[in-house]
Structure 1
């Protein structure tokens, strides 16, 4: 399990609960299960225990760690492959002590170094919920961990050096809100698992505490109160809104991407406002940390900087030449805290893989598919060091090649088409695009077709929200044209990216109907010339 949160309840009713489903649970049992559901959701257990396209919490998600690829276990109550035969004592020993059901040491990819701080009441509620979910028979696949890391007894060295058992202890000099936030951040939330500089040392202060670091090929930014690299310049309201939506109100630039976006969608967005505010209040008490010193930055000659021409060719039409974007539609790059993180990984990954629409913002095409590795490196340096931005330059082009090999998205054309979970939206998209409307659709026809289809879908599924409608149309376009990527008139990434931009325009401004007889595509669907 990975990423959890907090509450509490009694233990006496647990025995009867273990054989009951949520439908039959009564009284205190039902309350315990409900409380556990909040904890599991807030902790985003599904992120690591539900593989893509798999059953909820059935495991076999692949964690790519420095010691190898680890397959996660099944957390459903299946008798043979899950937790069905586990007692609470067995679960508690694994959850808070890192000892498996057969007495084996667990790898610290499972954050028991944080979970040791979780209260008894919360641990019982979590276990009660896990016992209540539908059982799924799915055997855990073999992990790929090379010698000597596959020798679990060697983990005693790690445990001796870095693991300290103990419950969370409130600070008597801090407010109740700050202590609540500390419990969430330092325990069940295990924020340091991604935002600490070095990950394998668990929850120790030696880990570059909350100063930012690379996790699974993405850069988790500095979340200390530093004014330039961290959240020091953000208001509490901006941070809370970002945690709920992936974007911040007002002029605060940036959108969530990668693992953070998943965490927000599956977890943080479903937490209570009071818990999010408490987490922010606690983070304000952490000493500000600079992941890099501005005096150590390499000289960057902006007037003739490599990457300037690439930016103007590929990026400026949306993000503007001054990097300010369009408020509420295109995120600003100027002053963007995430853009200025110590590591460039997130910027590069977004350039290579694009982004789906979210919280009012347009989808971003996987424009990096049209660039060379050197162009991506240069434009990343340009973005991170222009308009007042300052950040370390990319030290080698290899990081770009690694991202290109690793990032798999529908927009890049190297991953399956996304799916729509909202059944009403799925039905409305199917009805509006029935037949072969989207199959083989040319860029010249995007505007006339989408000016009709997009408002129809939006009207039929008003509960979905604009971003979901845009993403639903993108998924439908992908599914209709899967297998025809090589014949896409502008190249796949440019074609589907242009479709997404036109869909966004028509969903947001349905009254602006384009001339259906036009034989020219709008500027947004043309492919930039390659320098």
Structure 2
């Protein structure tokens, strides 16, 4: 499970993806070894931290915002000047296993060598072979911004002495082969604790608050121990596997994955075998259940006049329903949602402010928080997390909302560039049907009739594209052609684009039912 702080402050370390071609320096090498390495680097989601904005995969220069400063990740392609081209297999293994760079310097623990040390030498060899198979990309690494005294690497000896012990994963002789396989993935390449441990600075040590949940890059990575209330104890194995594979689960239990976890699922977990996902779940079941906060200390709001109740009824209840149960298969439930009840409120706040794209059959969620005050967001967050039987700590620092507002930038919030059309079939269909032109100068009261006419042909042209991909592709297209249109000068853009996305979703799911209705622009439907 990926951490946004996760990889290296040195001149060339681990990365990979199942999508890269086996070319370049790998010609003539053992293709089976390369193929195995391809799968292993996917399990580590290494591509996430080693691909810069608009850059080529694995070429580095992704900015990691860490507690000690901004670290620019290195180039992991086999380029001899700027990448791994001059690294030997032994030098790579030393970095991977011991956290020591090519020049003998200590690596910053932003690179998860405290987890990767558990990977076997044979697997590290396969990873090295795969990285050497990538096409070289010349991309000099940009300077990191690490202030004194953290830029003095020799000082890392203190951290290493206290929190790092090198050593491969040791199978438990009393556990099944499946549990041991899951432990190898969770504790090694998956480096799940990098996000889900409570205390990040202590790495993969006994003081880390293992898998009990914690904040990572402004999002809350929830408790994944077998605790019944705050963890996965009340989930079935099928639900956990489905969530790891798709970002949602039968029964709406955990809602929909967002933030770093969404990226981890798309780039890594969804590409693992079902057997490995089941093994990870089996291992997590063996961990000690942890209660990351005491329910008896939680302030409950199970009353109609509770703080945030009016805000919820105004902004959220039209989709999530007054009882928080949502609409099965369309709007995730908030009642009983373990992700909503995590120790930290960060994920709920971020989703309210930034919205979510359509995923796993669920409608997109408008960025409703853009039309709310910080106090309203704090109140409704506390209300959602403490109503309908939910229990979670209230927000103690209202400044968290203001801080999140300054960081969250999304197309749906209107403070980030319009997204690209992610699915190539949808992009071709939009071009072939002239959809972009048809969406120009489109007033809100014309959304339904225009989309009713466009969608059948567009869906036919898009072949096997999912409804999610069509919703997101059309929303991105609408953003590009309509964001600066004078028609919307008097309406908040987050409400306009949110309404558009949900009309597309409604028309795709029930075109006859919604043909004569328009989504109210003041209700901003979607997911909270």
Specify if TM > 0.5: yes
1:414 equivalent to 2:415? Answer: yes
Question: Which consecutive unaligned segments of at least 5 residues does structure 1 have?
Answer: 5-19, 516-520
Q: CA deviation at 1:483?
A: 4.0
From the superposition, tell whether residues 373 and 98 of structure 1 become closer, same or farther in structure 2 (CA, over 3 Å): same
Tell me what 2:189 maps to. 188
Q: Out of 358-367 and 459-468, give the one that drifted further.
A: 459-468
Mapping of residues 75-474 of structure 1, within 5 Å: 75-298=76-299, 300=301, 302-434=303-435, 436-474=437-475
Matched residue SS, 1:182: helix
1:522 equivalent to 2:482? Answer: no
Q: CA deviation at 1:52?
A: 2.8
CA distance in 1 between counterparts of 2:485 and 2:61 reads 31
Residues 106-137 of structure 1 show CA distances to partners (whole Å, capped at 9, x for unaligned) of 11010000000101111011111111112211
CA distance in 1 between counterparts of 2:113 and 2:486 reads 44
Residues 290-345 of structure 1 show CA distances to partners (whole Å, capped at 9, x for unaligned) of 00011222354633211100000000001001100000000000000000000000
CA distance in 1 between counterparts of 2:62 and 2:489 reads 33
Residues 333-381 of structure 1 show CA distances to partners (whole Å, capped at 9, x for unaligned) of 0000000000000000000000000010000000000000000000000
Q: Out of 414-423 and 134-143, give the one that drifted further.
A: 414-423
Structure 1 residue ranges (4+ consecutive) displaced by more than 6 angstroms after TM superposition: 1-4
Residues 17-37 of structure 1 show CA distances to partners (whole Å, capped at 9, x for unaligned) of xxx8279745x7111111111
CA distance in 1 between counterparts of 2:486 and 2:281 reads 45
Q: CA deviation at 1:251?
A: 4.5
Residues 221-254 of structure 1 show CA distances to partners (whole Å, capped at 9, x for unaligned) of 0000000000000000110001000000134241
From the superposition, tell whether residues 435 and 224 of structure 1 become closer, same or farther in structure 2 (CA, over 3 Å): closer
Give the number of aligned pairs: 507
Residues 31-56 of structure 1 show CA distances to partners (whole Å, capped at 9, x for unaligned) of 11111111112211111111232211
Tell me what 1:73 maps to. 74
CA distance in 2 between counterparts of 1:513 and 1:385 reads 34
Mapping of residues 493-508 of structure 1, within 5 Å: 493-508=494-509
What is the TM-score when the length of structure 2 is the normalising length?
Answer: 0.92
Q: Of the two structures, which has the highest relative contact order with CA contacts closer than 8 Å and spacing of 6 or more? A: 2
Aligned-residue RMSD, C-alpha: 2.0
Tell me what 2:19 maps to. none
Matched residue SS, 1:121: helix
Q: CA deviation at 1:525?
A: 3.1
What is the TM-score when the length of structure 1 is the normalising length?
Answer: 0.92
CA distance in 2 between counterparts of 1:485 and 1:366 reads 21
Tell me what 1:10 maps to. none
Q: CA deviation at 1:463?
A: 2.1
Residues 73-96 of structure 1 show CA distances to partners (whole Å, capped at 9, x for unaligned) of 111111111111111111111111
Matched residue SS, 2:207: helix
CA contact (8 A) 2:255 2:339 kept: yes
CA distance in 1 between counterparts of 2:486 and 2:335 reads 34
Q: CA deviation at 1:523?
A: 3.2
1:34 equivalent to 2:30? Answer: no
Question: Which consecutive unaligned segments of at least 5 residues does structure 2 have?
Answer: 7-21
CA distance in 2 between counterparts of 1:457 and 1:30 reads 41
Match of 1:21 among 23, 35, 43: 23
From the superposition, tell whether residues 407 and 508 of structure 1 become closer, same or farther in structure 2 (CA, over 3 Å): same
